[in-house]
Structure 1
């Protein structure tokens, strides 16, 4: 599994509109893999799509949204996204993650920049 970012940077504005970051997830192996993305707060983040299957040598795009609302308490904590991955066996991603154990995980921190 390869990701094109080492941290997810949200460039926030004072108008409180949601901000998104496009992330590229690459499968450099010769086998299909499934992924699942988890975040530290489902109240302030959205991930689309949160799980899926990536064919060998394929790259998929994942959009991560920050709601950008006035939640100072939530932002006082450290946030990150966990990208779990595992080999596939022909089932759908939802079926696999119902009881699958990941082969690995990569945690990517979230960083917030306030643009004025």
Structure 2
């Protein structure tokens, strides 16, 4: 239960359905919702720690995007996951003003790959 003095960003919302012909999301995110909570959200950086799990046996390349790179920082924003692998993801909110709930979103993309290194 959230204390009355706490503020939060990102109360749970529904996932968008896949478009016709679009492949299913084959990663698991734990937790499956991103909610920033704290008594001083507009004063100090607040971080949500997640786990991204590859549910397939195939190596996956992933990229995480957000609606505002000015107030959110995602680490790592892109990378690789081997089949069955789990990696930590850290998403940090830092802003002087707390935005409306539901205004910002994060998108997690992935695709199977055989690549073993990132090309720059």
TM-score of the alignment, normalized to the shorter chain, above 0.5:
yes
Larger gyration radius, structure 1 or structure 2: 2
* 1:87 aligned residue: 112
- Could you say which structure has the higher strand fraction? 1
RMSD: 1.8
Give the gaps of 5 or more residues in structure 1.
99-116
Distance 1:30 1:41 in 2: 33
* 1:17 aligned residue: 44
Q: Which structure 1 residue ranges, 4+ long, deviate > 4 Å from structure 2?
A: none
* 2:5 aligned residue: none
**TM-score, normalised relative to structure 1:** 0.71
Is residue 96 of structure 2 the alignment partner of residue 70 of structure 1? yes
Count of aligned residue pairs for this structure pair: 92
Q: Which has the higher contact order (CA 8 A, sep 6+)?
A: 1
List aligned pairs for 1:3-82, cutoff 5 A: 3-14=29-40, 16-67=43-94, 69-72=95-98, 75-76=99-100, 78-82=103-107
**TM-score, normalised relative to structure 2:** 0.69
